Amino acid sequence: MATFLVEAYTPAAAELADVQARIRAAADATTKEGVAVLYIRSILVPGDETCFHVFEGPSQEAVAEVGRRASLAFTRIVEALSASAKEV
């Protein structure tokens, strides 16, 4: 599975916990339907009204479907690579 970064408009007043709950529910539903998408984490930048969400999934299209189901106002989805401080 590949890792994808989703950039989404998120109003500063949005509750991150609510956004995460919608994403988890959408990812779970998609996975139950046979397309495994794993939600990893979110990073909210309130001053920019932007939230970055990290997923693992089989394709950009599968992650986009989770975003649509979660009502994310995403501007882009890109494949991404990551490394932790321990790996560098």
User: Domains of the chain (ranges plus CATH)?
Assistant: 2-79 (3.30.70.3090)
Higher pLDDT, 85 or 15: 15
In this predicted structure, the answer to whether residue 88 has a pLDDT above a threshold of 70 is no
In this predicted structure, the answer to whether residue 83 has a pLDDT above a threshold of 90 is no
The distance from CA 59 to its chain's CA centroid, rounded to whole angstroms, is 13
Mean pLDDT (whole number) for 47-70: 96
In this predicted structure, the answer to whether residue 19 has a pLDDT above a threshold of 80 is yes
**pLDDT at position 12, please?**
76
Q: Is 41 within 8 Å of 20 (Cβ atoms)?
A: no
Which residues pair with residue 50 across a beta bridge?
Answer: 9, 45
In this predicted structure, the answer to whether residue 3 has a pLDDT above a threshold of 90 is yes
- Crossing angle for the helix pair 16-32 and 60-69, to the nearest 10 degrees: 120
Q: Token digits for 17?
A: 């916990």
Rounded to two decimals, what is the model's pTM? 0.90
